[in-house]
Amino acid sequence: MMFTDRMLAAINYMMIDMMAAIARKDYQQRRLRQAQGIEKARASGVYKGRPVDAELRNRVRELLAAGLGIRAVARHAACSTTTVMKVRDGLAQR
């Protein structure tokens, strides 16, 4: 009885591991195909992403020039701190 229980448990764990490996492989294949599709769409000019909001960028530049900090600018411009830092870094590169 004990041998059978241990054997069934081992088989169950093996099946779970095998199914997890299959699921991971399937996930990786789908991600790869998705990336290939996006790359193909970008090459043909279909997939461009969201356009830059020039009005928001100008507002952020004005607030930064006024001496506000990153979080204060983000709060006033209703955007993320990441957006503020990207605009700030873009200004520094010029």
**What span, in angstroms and rounded, lies between the C-alpha atoms of 94 and 89?**
9
**What span, in angstroms and rounded, lies between the C-alpha atoms of 59 and 48?**
24
- For the chain, the domains span 1-49, 54-93
Residue 48 pLDDT: 80
Residue 3 pLDDT: 74
> Could you list the mean pLDDT of each consecutive 10-residue stretch along the chain, which spans 94 residues?
85 97 98 95 86 93 95 96 93 60
**What span, in angstroms and rounded, lies between the C-alpha atoms of 65 and 70?**
11
